[in-house]
Structure 1
Amino acid sequence: MTYQEAIDYLYAATPVFQQVGSTAYKPGLETTHTLDTHYGHPHRSYRTIHVGGTNGKGSTSHTIASVLQAAGYRVGLFTSPHLLDFRERIRVNGQMVSENFVCRFVEDAQPLIHEQSPSFFELTTLMAFEYFRQSQVDFAVIEVGLGGRLDCTNIISPILSVITSISKDHTQLLGDTLEAIAGEKAGIIKPSTPIIIGREECSEVREVFVKKAQEEQAPITFAEEAVHIQAQTPDFPGQHFTLDGGEAPYYFGLGGLVQRDNFRTIYAAIQELRHQGINISEEALRDGLRNVISRTGLRGRWEVLSQHPLIICDTAHNEDGIRYIVEQLLSLQRPLHIIFGMVNDKDIRGVLQRLPSNAHYYFTAASVPRALAPQDLQALAQDYELQGATYLNVHEALGAALKSANHATDVFFVGGSNFLISDLLATYSDTENIN
């Protein structure tokens, strides 16, 4: 079996959320426990850190992994979805899982797949756990796939749990109130295991977390209370954060405004790991923050693909995430060209109402079945006075924008969907292709 044959088999034999949406979601842990028993509970071979939340969990997971790597540890990282290559989901010290391992795992798992009918995410979770065991990692940072309580990553017994933020997303599966969503996310809080809460959002959400932590006798830390940021200063491509107390500013390699919340969460998490006796020097913390992109391969977070013209992309795809993006785009005080596409099971109106009406729009769609047709997106956008033409794909849309605008003054933003960014980066993975 070749690597491509293995990937094709995975997509054909197991339901894939990114392709078909909520019909691929399998709530409950029964199948995962069966798979875990079959493989001999690989996640018990190393210490784990569990990261959930609505927004920010990818940036947070990658950065915690980067800091641990800088401290000299061998670190596994499991995240989703991928942007360009399935192997991005499973990394050890920043290196993607080998094609050979994927082929061998899929070949060996075929009888199990036919017997248990796992989802794509259930199977790839066990693939990651087993790869980390064979790679003899010291730690594995495990990002929740969807929700928390019933997510298949929730079979682990971590040394630390992290919940980054709570906002409305996947409401058809997790609930349509912040309290309901928080209840699902709080499912990763484990007995006597420290929990870090990033942004609590409101008192009702806070109460959900406090109650669950008390039930589990889990020490709880709210990052907004524990980490006080005095100043946030842009410094391309990242930014500096100055904490109360007079320390030298920390340089964070991620540049989006939303990273303020993530920085607090990450800093609080590292402090807790230190409290547990894990050796993370100040130098390692600063190194890991600075070099998160090069160490872990993280992409699509306020990523500047080109300076001249200024082309930016971001994977933010819900109302809360877009709110930060719009604030940052408007702060540039330059003419805006927004290449935009969404999938059909998101709160599309909630996102559209956040977008600026004075921008030029280029409505398009990603190459996945869940993508909303550009014409449908255009029609909905008109209700919010967002005007623009439709294009078959992101490349046509960006090409049209570049032809119609002033490269010296205008800003080009691509966003609305992870999958739209995947399509973009598949062509523009080398920034030389843009200039």
Structure 2
Amino acid sequence: MDYNQTIHFLYTQYPAFEKQGGLAYKPGLDNVLGISEAFNNPHLAFKSIHVAGTNGKGSSSSMLAAILQTAGYKVGLYTSPHIHRFTERIRINGVEIPEAEVVNFVENNTVVFEQFKPSFFEITTILAFNWFAKQQVDIAIVETGMGGRLDATNIIHPEVSLITNVSLDHTQFLGNTLTAIASEKAGIIKQNTPVVVSEYQQDIIEVFENTSLSLNAPLIKAYEYYECSDLLNVGRASVLEIKNIPTQKSMDVKTDLQGIYQSRNILGVLSVLDVLKNSGWNISETAILEGLKQVQKQSGFKGRWQVVSDKPLVILDAAHNEAGMILSMDQLNSLNKKIHIVIGMVKDKDVSHIISLLPVSASYYFCQANNPRALSATELQQLAQQQGLSGITIPNVNEALLAAKNASHADDVIWVGGSLYVLGELSLN
């Protein structure tokens, strides 16, 4: 098989959440532990940081990877889902896993796959761990796929865990209350292993306190050590004023990540770095500042308040649940520009509620990704009309963006999002 045939084989032979939703969900660790043992447990061959959370785990993981790479370490990064290419999921120092490695891994291990009948995500996880072990990374940043407790990534033994935040998403699998979802995220907390919580959430902090106490795991509440008092967008970068609360020392941090929500994520990142530094990792303030300046370049991170054009301003943002959409729309409305929104969503979200968070005054272009889980553009438009939103239906993602550009003036803004799958189909060249 060539690379494209291999990816097609993975998606068609093994259940993939991106294509099949809940039918592909395989909770539990027994199967992935069995597969890992067949590969001589590669997850034990490298140090790691485990990252969970409803929103912000991709940004936080990429910031950590960029900083540690700048500090001179060989850094693995495992995230999901990808936007354009499968290989985006698995990187070392920002370089994607070679296509040939993916092909060889699949072709050489069909017997193992037949024995364990893994999910797509289980195969991808072991592929990542095997690649990191083979390449002898100094440390890997590992993002959970969903939840934490029963996620396939939860077989690692990290140096420190990070939980970014908790909001309602994937409720059919993780529970329909914040407390239930927090309990699933808290499942990544390990015995005697520090855990950082990025954000203060009054309703659920007790979940993390109780879990960490039961496991003798030091709990670091990032918001008690750092605060971000300002965020200013400058060109295609942001400047944040960060204060270390115990020392009262302040520093201006410039980053190429522009979403206002990064002011929350960065607190957890800095606290994780403090844990590593206290354990002997050599991470200077210079490495932190330089790494944050080039997160996208160093890690390959995309799709979170990503500005791809200036006149009109075109912003790609992967916000697709309540918490993410509220923050993204707050920032969009603060621009005080005429707004055009190109949006597509998947069927298994609370679409009506998320649509209710969108600005009524915007012009809409309803589209749908070429994905079995995608909600039809027509149905999305109908749901939007019930919320007082008006616009046109253009199923093709690129044609929808083109229509928005044609209807825009140079000083307007076009926001594209609702699903990573929508962003993945854009042709921006």
TM surpasses 0.5: yes
Q: Which residue of 2 aligns with 1:216?
A: 215
Q: Which residue of 2 aligns with 1:20?
A: 20
Distance (whole Å) between structure 2 residues aligned to residue 148 and residue 83 of structure 1: 22
Compute the displacement of 1:82 (Å): 0.5
Compute the displacement of 1:94 (Å): 0.6
Q: Which residue of 2 aligns with 1:405?
A: 408
1:156-213 Cα offsets, whole Å, 9 max, x none, are 11110000010000000000000000000000000010000112322x3101110000
The secondary structure found in structure 1 opposite 2:161 is strand
1:270-297 Cα offsets, whole Å, 9 max, x none, are 1111111111011111111111110011
Question: For 1:150-169, what aligned pairs fall within 5 Å after superposition?
Answer: 150-169=150-169
Q: Which residue of 2 aligns with 1:136?
A: 136
Q: Contact conserved, 1:196 with 1:222, CA < 8 A, in 2?
A: yes
The secondary structure found in structure 2 opposite 1:249 is strand
1:60-92 Cα offsets, whole Å, 9 max, x none, are 011101111001000111100001110000101
Aligned length: 425
Compute the displacement of 1:246 (Å): 4.2
Distance (whole Å) between structure 1 residues aligned to residue 51 and residue 112 of structure 2: 28
Q: Contact conserved, 2:318 with 2:419, CA < 8 A, in 1?
A: yes
Report the residue type matching 1:184 in the other structure.
E
Q: Which residue of 1 aligns with 2:50?
A: 50
After superposing on structure 2, the runs of 4+ consecutive aligned residues of structure 1 that deviate more than 4 Å are none
1:374-423 Cα offsets, whole Å, 9 max, x none, are 111111112221111111211121122222222x2211111100100101
The secondary structure found in structure 2 opposite 1:146 is coil
Q: Which residue of 2 aligns with 1:303?
A: 306
The secondary structure found in structure 2 opposite 1:228 is strand
Q: Contact conserved, 2:342 with 2:366, CA < 8 A, in 1?
A: yes
Q: Which residue of 1 aligns with 2:182?
A: 182
Q: Which residue of 2 aligns with 1:390?
A: 393
Alignment match of 2:372 (pick from 358, 369, 372):
369
Q: Which residue of 1 aligns with 2:275?
A: 272
Q: Which residue of 1 aligns with 2:326?
A: 323
In the alignment, is residue 231 of structure 1 matched against residue 234 of structure 2?
A: no
Compute the displacement of 1:224 (Å): 1.6
Q: Contact conserved, 2:311 with 2:412, CA < 8 A, in 1?
A: no
Distance (whole Å) between structure 1 residues aligned to residue 275 and residue 227 of structure 2: 16
In the alignment, is residue 197 of structure 1 matched against residue 223 of structure 2?
A: no
The secondary structure found in structure 1 opposite 2:168 is coil
Alignment match of 1:248 (pick from 234, 241, 251):
251
Report the residue type matching 1:68 in the other structure.
L
1:313-340 Cα offsets, whole Å, 9 max, x none, are 1111101101111111111101000011
Q: Which residue of 1 aligns with 2:6?
A: 6
Q: Which residue of 1 aligns with 2:67?
A: 67
Q: Contact conserved, 2:311 with 2:411, CA < 8 A, in 1?
A: no
The secondary structure found in structure 1 opposite 2:81 is coil
Give the TM-score normalised by the residue count of structure 2.
0.97
Distance (whole Å) between structure 2 residues aligned to residue 35 and residue 135 of structure 1: 20
Q: Which residue of 1 aligns with 2:286?
A: 283
Distance (whole Å) between structure 2 residues aligned to residue 248 and residue 261 of structure 1: 16
Distance (whole Å) between structure 2 residues aligned to residue 316 and residue 18 of structure 1: 16
The secondary structure found in structure 1 opposite 2:239 is strand
Q: Contact conserved, 1:236 with 1:255, CA < 8 A, in 2?
A: no
Distance (whole Å) between structure 1 residues aligned to residue 154 and residue 251 of structure 2: 37
Q: Which residue of 2 aligns with 1:37?
A: 37
Distance (whole Å) between structure 2 residues aligned to residue 250 and residue 332 of structure 1: 22
Q: Which residue of 2 aligns with 1:433?
A: none
Compute the displacement of 1:230 (Å): 2.5
In the alignment, is residue 359 of structure 1 matched against residue 362 of structure 2?
A: yes
Q: Which residue of 1 aligns with 2:425?
A: 423
1:303-361 Cα offsets, whole Å, 9 max, x none, are 11111221111111101101111111111101000011100001112211110101011
Distance (whole Å) between structure 1 residues aligned to residue 242 and residue 315 of structure 2: 28
Distance (whole Å) between structure 2 residues aligned to residue 116 and residue 414 of structure 1: 39
The secondary structure found in structure 2 opposite 1:76 is strand
Question: For 1:103-118, what aligned pairs fall within 5 Å after superposition?
Answer: 103-118=103-118
Name whichever of 46-55 and 348-357 sits farther off. 348-357
Q: Contact conserved, 1:166 with 1:200, CA < 8 A, in 2?
A: no
The secondary structure found in structure 1 opposite 2:229 is strand
In the alignment, is residue 333 of structure 1 matched against residue 336 of structure 2?
A: yes
Q: Which runs of 5+ in 2 are unaligned?
A: none
Q: Contact conserved, 2:168 with 2:178, CA < 8 A, in 1?
A: yes
Q: Contact conserved, 2:312 with 2:408, CA < 8 A, in 1?
A: no
Name whichever of 255-264 and 234-243 sits farther off. 234-243
Q: Which runs of 5+ in 1 are unaligned?
A: 431-435
Q: Contact conserved, 2:163 with 2:198, CA < 8 A, in 1?
A: yes
CA RMSD of aligned residues (A): 1.0
Distance (whole Å) between structure 2 residues aligned to residue 260 and residue 384 of structure 1: 31
Distance (whole Å) between structure 1 residues aligned to residue 218 and residue 251 of structure 2: 29
Q: Contact conserved, 1:364 with 1:392, CA < 8 A, in 2?
A: yes
Compute the displacement of 1:243 (Å): 2.2
Distance (whole Å) between structure 1 residues aligned to residue 211 and residue 250 of structure 2: 34
Q: Which residue of 2 aligns with 1:88?
A: 88
The secondary structure found in structure 2 opposite 1:419 is helix
